[in-house]
Amino acid sequence: MELLDGRSLANELTQAQQMAVTQLKQQGIIPKLVVIMVGTDPASTIYTKNKQKRAAKIGIASELKQLPDETTATDLLALIHQLNEDATVDGILVQLPLPKQINEDQIIQAIDPQKDVDGFSPVNIGKLWLNEPGLVACTPNGIMQLLAAYNIDIAGKNVVIVGRSNIVGRPLAALMLNANATVTIAHSHTVALKALTKTADILIVAIGRARFFGVDDVKKGAVVVDVGINRLEDGSVTGDVDFEALKTHVSAMTPVPRGVGPMTITMLMAQTIEIAKGRAKRG
């Protein structure tokens, strides 16, 4: 089995990104990412810190706009409009979830689609399905990069995606379809799920159930991409598939951790740099 080593690829890409940023700075452009966080959700605090750390490592200017829990939609929209207008800001990311008084859809739609580094705005999702250039959600984008780095063929393959979230399953379906895969999207309403997963040449699971899929549920020689992150009672982290059992059964597989996870933040940086390159070109 080939290990689809997201951490190792992320490290390589990070080095290339450092060089790209150095070149941009020589042109007088400093890529800049602004992360907006409302409230003090502990998980969000960790995620935003990780994003800032990675940005700093690469040389991307990052700014955390930390707003109080009781922030109104009006205040948040005003900030987003200001950042939309600010020519020195390349990427704008609103850390989700937002407090209940704020409509997330409305906020995401307010971000300039050209600065929407998370690729969550309707315009970018529409472009993705139209197979037009645009910004793409980072986790699916990272999965495609990881498969490409290991020369995994996609065209004509049966790809089964388990999970239909807006941030993983749906955009990944578009990317896979655009790459000429035959794509099936399964979810909580799917009947005979494990018979379906067994038909997949490439199986992508994102349901958040520890070791839910085993040898009997996966085709011999399949490629498995595990997006699940499940914390066990002993504190360890495991994916949605039984990695140990599948090791001798599949042809390639992502580990958890160090598989898909490290790619997500790497794609966030990649898109921020791409936007900054566009700014450099426009002069």
Which C-beta is closer to a copy of itself: that of 71 or that of 158? 158
Q: Which one is catalytic: 5, 17, 32, 95? A: 95
Is 281 catalytic? The answer is: no
Eight-state DSSP code of residue 215:
G
- Helix (H), strand (E) counts: the chain: 10, 11
Residue 209 assigned to a binding site: no
Tokens of 217: 């549920």
State the Rg of the chain over Cα.
19
Tokens coding 102: 């704020």
Q: Which is nearer to a copy of itself, 164 or 279 (CB)?
A: 164
- Is the CB of residue 103 less than 8 Å from the CB of residue 61? no
Q: Is 229 annotated as a binding residue?
A: yes
Site string for a copy of itself, 134-153 (x = CB under 8 A): x-------------------
The question of whether 105 is a catalytic residue gets the answer no
| Matching residue, tokens 């895969």 | 181
204 is in an annotated binding site: no
**Using rule CB under 8 A, residue 183 touches a copy of itself:** yes
Of the residues 116, 118, 201, 226, which is catalytic? Answer: 118
Determine if residue 228 is labeled as part of a ligand binding site. Answer: no
Give dist(CA 188, CA 36) in Å, integer. 32
Q: Which is nearer to a copy of itself, 46 or 130 (CB)?
A: 130
* Residue 228 phi, psi (nearest 5): -65, 140
Closest CB to a copy of itself among 2 and 132?
A: 132
Stretch that binds a copy of itself, among 8-16, 41-49, 183-191, 268-276 (CB under 8 A): 183-191
Q: Is residue 95 flagged as an active site residue?
A: yes
- The CA-based angle 257-205-129, given to 5 degrees, is 115
What is the enclosing helix (H) or strand (E) of 91? strand 91-94
What gap in Å lies between CA 13 and CA 5, rounded to an integer? 12
| Closest approach of a copy of itself to the CB of residue 109, in Å | 8
| Bind-site residues | 163-165, 229
> Which residues of this chain interact with a copy of itself, rule CB under 8 A?
105, 121-127, 129-130, 132, 134, 155-158, 164, 166, 170, 173-174, 177, 180-187, 189-191, 196
Q: Which residues are identified as catalytic?
A: 51, 95, 118
